[in-house]
Amino acid sequence: MSPAASSEAARIVSWNVNGLRACARKGFGRWLSRCGAEIVALQEVRALPEDLPSALRAPRRWTVHMNPAERLGYSGVALYSRRKPDAVETSLGAGNRKYDVEGRLQIARFGRLVVINGYFPKGSGKERDNSRVPYKLGFYRAVRQRAERLRRGRYRVLVMGDFNTAHREIDLARPRDNTRNSGFLPEERAELDRWIDAGWIDTFRVFEPGPGHYTWWRQWGDAKQKNVGWRIDYVLASPNLRPFLEGAFIQRRVQGSDHVPVGVDLDPAVFG
């Protein structure tokens, strides 16, 4: 488990649940009630709001916003928050409908803090042929452009979610075996380089520079037990958020998905 948030910190968590209904059967509701978070961003929800039981659609003391994909049982993101956001957007704007229809994005504003919840596409097609890499790279660029506009507006910005890319060799157990596979292609890693080169902060690496820390494992071959994994879930922060950053974590022991939650603890003054 991650260290407990201090009573003063605002905890913000991201989790690819790999199907919210399936995750709920494995304890999502219990985790949500005990996670101590102010904001929880979910990816790969794979359900329409009306298909969810009330305990998931409208849990007590949480405000919930969902952005499902047009295709049933696919993709989708959701945001659970203890405080009501000032605004929530789900579109990247004109010319980006091909991304919007897949329900991959939420942009929520809480005072001076903006949380971008993104489920970045996989680059592998149905035949694992890397045919979706151009679509994936286009989504990266569109989200970064939107995030940079918010940054120029002097908002404090978090971009969090399943990025579906391991940035550096330290971020996956077997880098040499995956140089031709989507998730570790040079052009995918270069998109993350562009974020970092522009000053965005990989919050987990502020506190943990070492190897062996992953957020996703294959569901066969005892991959998680053997820790043969990938770190593909991130919380990136705009530079002006750095003074408010108190901690970052991976909740490796949480069950319910092939991913585990990641997050940050912030000084609550970040909202003001």
Q: Which H or E run includes 188?
A: helix 186-197
**Stretches in the chain below the pLDDT threshold 70:** 1-7
Marked catalytic residue, from 51, 162, 171, 265: 162
Residue 208 has a pLDDT of 98
Residue 128 has a pLDDT of 73
SS3 138: helix
Residue 6 has a pLDDT of 55
Q: How many CB atoms lie within 10 A of CB 18?
A: 19
Q: How far apart are CA 111 and CA 119, in angstroms?
A: 23
SS3 174: coil
162 counts as catalytic: yes
Q: Where are the domains of the chain?
A: 10-271
Residue 118 has a pLDDT of 98
Q: How far is CA 22 from CA 31, 63, 75, 91, 130, in A?
A: 14, 21, 14, 27, 28
Residue 69 has a pLDDT of 97
Residue 129 has a pLDDT of 86
Return the bridge partners of 157, or none.
Answer: 114
Structure pTM? 0.96
Residue owning tokens 């991976």: 250
Residue 2 has a pLDDT of 44
Q: Which CATH superfamily is domain 10-271 in?
A: Endonuclease/exonuclease/phosphatase (3.60.10.10)
The pLDDT tens digits for 28-75 are: 999 999 999 999 999 999 999 999 999 999 999 999 999 999 999 999
Q: How far is CA 259 from CA 80, 215, 232, in A?
A: 18, 5, 9
The pLDDT tens digits for 222-245 are: 999 999 999 999 999 999 999 999
